[in-house]
């Protein structure tokens, strides 16, 4: 089992209480900052493709878990064991909206170098801009749908709502401002793909996540 470094609030840490774990955290954070400032990208098409391939393999695991090896921003590979949550402890409503599933967690530079509230600090994970882990989707009050009225949006329904919100967005003053700003941009290359990170799920159970829909609309 990997050693765990206790939660450290760097901003409030007293100078008279230095420890090796605190020094290790500071050293790794400074290293990541230096690597990033040299222009090292966190998310490349090839890196995302490789993690996606590993994700597809993980999806075949139905119990226990799996060892996953991923490349860190420092160019080194790190192997961690990912446990699959047990669905036996989940309610009917929770299972209805997805239960446990394998996902990719995208970690921006702000997360990698955060200095306040560092909890469960593992050297095997701290360099990873992308992680694969299992997520148990839980809907809690007041968002838990009634068990007698459980349903999900169909693809056609979601598409209709998405286009409707998009039409309303394109009549707004903010849309005009965005278009004016984009018209002034002259990139020195052809932009053929945009990747959105952490836009959120379009629905939670029977509820539509308007914020997430707007973010997807904005990206489009």
Please indicate, yes or no, whether residues 99 and 182 belong to a single structural domain of this protein. no
Give the pLDDT confidence score for residue 53 in this predicted structure: 92
In a domain, residue 12? The reply is no
Please indicate, yes or no, whether residues 206 and 104 belong to a single structural domain of this protein. no
Please indicate, yes or no, whether residues 106 and 155 belong to a single structural domain of this protein. no
Q: Where are the alpha helices (DSSP H) in the chain?
A: 20-37, 45-58, 92-96, 109-112, 155-169, 173-183, 210-219
Please indicate, yes or no, whether residues 24 and 131 belong to a single structural domain of this protein. yes
The tokens describing 58, both together, are 């993980």
In a domain, residue 66? The reply is yes
Please indicate, yes or no, whether residues 125 and 161 belong to a single structural domain of this protein. no
201 vs 139: CA distance, rounded Å: 13
Give the pLDDT confidence score for residue 99 in this predicted structure: 56
Angle 122-128-131 (CA atoms, 0-180°, nearest 5)? 95
For residue 96, count other CB atoms closer than 10 A to its CB.
Answer: 18
Please indicate, yes or no, whether residues 125 and 185 belong to a single structural domain of this protein. no
Q: Are 137 and 94 in contact (CB under 8 A)?
A: yes
Q: Could you give the 3-state DSSP secondary structure of residue 132?
A: strand
Helix, strand, coil fractions of the chain, as percent rounded to 5: 40, 15, 45
Please indicate, yes or no, whether residues 100 and 181 belong to a single structural domain of this protein. no
Please indicate, yes or no, whether residues 183 and 119 belong to a single structural domain of this protein. no
- Sign of dihedral through CA atoms 140, 143, 147, 151? negative
Q: Are 177 and 85 in contact (CB under 8 A)?
A: no
In a domain, residue 10? The reply is no
The tokens describing 131, both together, are 């992680």
Give the pLDDT confidence score for residue 34 in this predicted structure: 93
| Domain extent for 162 | 151-219
Give the pLDDT confidence score for residue 137 in this predicted structure: 57
Each residue's pLDDT, cut to its tens digit, for the chain (220 residues) gives 333 333 444 444 444 434 677 777 888 889 999 999 999 999 999 999 999 999 888 888 877 788 889 999 999 999 988 887 665 555 555 444 445 678 888 888 888 887 654 556 777 888 999 998 887 655 444 444 444 444 567 788 888 888 998 899 899 998 999 999 989 988 888 888 888 877 888 877 667 788 888 888 888 8
- How many CA atoms, within 13 angstroms, populate the side-chain half-sphere of residue 126? 22
11 vs 6: CA distance, rounded Å: 15
- How many CA atoms, within 13 angstroms, populate the side-chain half-sphere of residue 116? 2
152 vs 174: CA distance, rounded Å: 31
In a domain, residue 212? The reply is yes
In a domain, residue 2? The reply is no
The domain boundary, picked from 83, 109, 136, lies at 136
Please indicate, yes or no, whether residues 83 and 122 belong to a single structural domain of this protein. yes
Burial class (CB in 10 A: 0-12, 13-18, 19+), 215: middle
Model confidence, pTM = 0.55
Domain count, the chain: 2
């Amino acid at each position: 089992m990997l050693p765990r470094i206790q939660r450290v609030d760097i901003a409030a840490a007293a100078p008279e209480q230095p420890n090796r774990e605190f020094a290790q955290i500071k050293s790794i954070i400074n290293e990541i900052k230096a690597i990033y400032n040299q222009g090292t990208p966190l998310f490349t098409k090839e890196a995302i493709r490789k993690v996606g391939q590993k994700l597809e393999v993980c999806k075949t695991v139905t119990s226990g878990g799996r060892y996953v090896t991923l490349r860190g921003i420092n160019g080194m590979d790190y192997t961690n064991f990912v446990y699959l949550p047990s669905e036996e402890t989940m309610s009917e409503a929770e299972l209805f909206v997805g239960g446990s599933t394998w996902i990719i967690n995208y970690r921006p530079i702000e997360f990698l170098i955060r200095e306040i509230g560092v909890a469960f600090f593992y050297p095997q994970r701290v360099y990873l801009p992308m992680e694969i882990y299992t997520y148990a989707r839980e809907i809690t009050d007041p968002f838990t749908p009634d068990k007698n009225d459980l349903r999900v949006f169909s693809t056609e329904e979601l598409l209709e709502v998405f286009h409707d919100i998009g039409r309303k967005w394109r009549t707004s003053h903010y849309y005009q401002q965005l278009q004016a700003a984009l018209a002034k941009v002259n990139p020195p290359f052809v932009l053929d793909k945009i990747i959105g990170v952490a836009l959120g799920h379009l629905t939670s159970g029977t509820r539509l996540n308007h914020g997430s829909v707007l973010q997807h609309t904005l990206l489009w």
